[in-house]
Structure 1
Amino acid sequence: MPKEYGRSQRVASQMQKELALILQREVHDPRVGFVTINEVILTKDLAVAKIYITVLNADEAGKSTNVKALNEISAFIRHELAKRMRLRHISELHFYYDHSFDTGQRVSELLHEVARPPQDD
């Protein structure tokens, strides 16, 4: 019977916390804005980490610029992560933009439009 909360999930949770601190304190790249780590998904063997982010106050071009910049400096981030986590091997990092926040915001706007009472002309 598999564990409900396996090692890859525990490592992903810790990795998310450490990545947030690294992005906040160590990354000084001007291309990287205010980035939030939403989720880290690790493969079972911990070899690859998919990191889903959102960017505050950025248009589509800004979002893709942030993701591209983070993927370019992923070696530096991985090195910093290796200093902080007690693992034999550190996962290969891949950053992706998480569209779920934008989708949720759009759904909320549509629900507010539907909930408004009709105006008499």
Structure 2
Amino acid sequence: MRHKRNIPNRSFRVADQIQRDVAELVRELKDPRIGMITINAVEVTPDYAHATVLFSLLVGEVGQSELALNEAAGFLRNGLFKRLSIHTVPTLHFKFDQTTSRAAELSSLILQANATRAKED
């Protein structure tokens, strides 16, 4: 039997599963530098060697949380080995996702612009 090279949406399914598992595993970390985080997305390279984990922060400092998560990446990857049934478990790279904070800034700017326009009219 030949191995099927292009399984449709496999990388999306793997990324989604990694996102769910990492979210659970992060809760087990006891590092006080890690604030209240949310795992927003996971981007996996085509060879499954690396995964960029995008997170947002509710409470805590971005730099400290990102550093602590990247230091714990080996522990989290080990946890993924036990949970995932894939040949290659990717090396994890944590990166702060600025989408949420940027959206809040833009929303604030729009509200200010509308308020200014309303005063002018």
- Compute the TM-score of the two structures, normalised by the length of structure 1: 0.86
Q: Which runs of 4+ in 1 moved over 4 A?
A: none
The equivalent residue for 1:11 is 14
Number of corresponding residues:
113
Matches within 5 A, 1:61-72: 62-72=61-71
Query: 1:80 — aligned with what?
Result: 79
Distance 1:5 1:113 in 2: 45
CA distance in 1, matches of 2:79, 2:35: 19
Stretches of structure 2 lacking an aligned partner (at least 5 in a row): 1-5
The root-mean-square deviation of aligned C-alpha atoms, in Å, is: 1.7
Contact 2:37–2:59 (CA<8 Å) still a contact in 1? no
Amino acid at match of 1:10: R
Change (3 A) 1:102 1:28: same
Which runs of 5 or more residues in structure 1 are unaligned?
none
- Determine the structure 1 residue equivalent to 2:32: 30
SS of 2:76's equivalent in the other structure is: helix
Fraction of identical pairs, as percent: 33
Matched AA of 2:119: P
